Structure 1
Amino acid sequence: MSKTSIKISSEVLNLQECYDFVADPSCGGIAVFVGTVRNATQNKEVTQLDFSTYKPMALKEMQKIADRILKKFGITKIAIHHAEGLLKISDVPVIITVSSPHRKAAFDACQYAIDTLKETVPIWKKEYFSDGEVWVNAHP
C-alpha cells in the first residue's frame, strides 16, 4: 500500500480524493493545505494564472519531498497534487494533505511540503493582469 500520492494534472484538483487517500484509522490528525488563485498581488489586479511544469522532473521532486517528509515527521500518508495550465480566480493550483497519529506532525509536515515545493519543484507561474503579465518565482 502506497503512502504517497503525487500528481500534476490539467484537470480540476479534487480535495476529497486527497483527503480520502490520507485518511487512516491509526491517525488522530489530518492537515490540509489548499492553495487558491487570489485576485491581487503586489497592488495589481490578477485576472488569471498559468502554471507550467517540467513534468517528469517536477513529479520526481515532489516524490522526493513526500519521501523526506515520511521519514522526517513520522507521518502516515501524504498527497501532493498540483495543477498545470490556465487557472481563474478562486481555482485551486495545489492541494496537500497529510495524516499522522498526532496533529503537530501533520501540521509541520504540511507546511514543510508547501514551502519546499515552492522552493525546489520546477513549476513556474505566470500572473496575468489587465495591463500585462509577468513570470513569478522563475526557479529552480
Structure 2
Amino acid sequence: MSKPVKNIFTEGAISPAFIAESIAKHSSKKDIGAHSIFLGQVRADIIEDKTVSAIEYTTYDDLALQKMHELREEIFAKYELTCMHVHHSLGEVKTGEICLFVFTSSKHRKTAINACEEVVERIKADLPVWGKEIFEDESHQWKINK
C-alpha cells in the first residue's frame, strides 16, 4: 500500500534548528545504523558582474508533490531505507541559507549515502521547481540548474 502524498515545501529558508530537531528525533530509532544528509545552500554567484543575493523558488505544487511521491516510492522500492525526509524551500531564500534538506536513514551507510545522492539528483532533474536569481541590484533572471 502506498503512503499518502507528503508536503515537502517550506516557505522561506530551512532553519538550522529544524534540521537539528529532525536529526535528534531519530536517536530513539534503534534499528538505524547510518544517516546521510544533503543540505543545499544558496550561493552568492557572480554572473555578468552581478552578485546573487537570493533565489526565489516557485513550483506547481500538485504536480511537484505527485512527482516527489512517485520518486519516494521508487527510492523505497530500490533501497532498504528506514526513513527518508525531503524539505524544499519556496519563496525567497537569501545567500548562505538552506533551500534543500534531504535526509535518508538505513541500517548501513552505503545504502543511506547512495539513496540520498539519487534523491538529490532526481529532485534537481525531475521536480518542477524553478529558481529566480535575484541580484544585489534587484534585477533577476531564471536560474539554470547545474
Any idea what the Cα deviations from partners look like across 1:2-24, whole Å, max 9, x if unmatched? Answer: 7x965212154221344356553
Instruction: Name the residue aligned to 1:28.
Output: 33
Please tell me whether Structure 1 or Structure 2 has the larger radius of gyration of its CA atoms.
Answer: 2
Identical-residue share of aligned pairs (%): 26
Aligned residues: 136
Instruction: Name the residue aligned to 2:140.
Output: 133
Runs of at least 5 residues in structure 1 that lack an aligned partner in the other structure: none
Instruction: Give me the TM-score of the superposition, normalised by structure 1.
Output: 0.85
Residue 68 of structure 1: which of 74, 98, 101 is its match? 74
Instruction: Quote the Cα distance in structure 2 between the aligned partners of 1:41 and 1:7.
Output: 29
Following superposition of structure 1 onto structure 2, how do residues 1-140 of structure 1 map, counting pairs within 5 Å? Answer: 6-13=7-14, 14-20=18-24, 24-40=29-45, 42=47, 44-130=50-136, 132-137=139-144
Any idea what the Cα deviations from partners look like across 1:72-119, whole Å, max 9, x if unmatched? Answer: 111111001111001111111110000010000100000000100011
Change (3 A) 1:37 1:134: same
Aligned 8 A contact 2:38 2:102 in 1: yes
Change (3 A) 1:20 1:55: farther
Runs of at least 5 residues in structure 2 that lack an aligned partner in the other structure: none
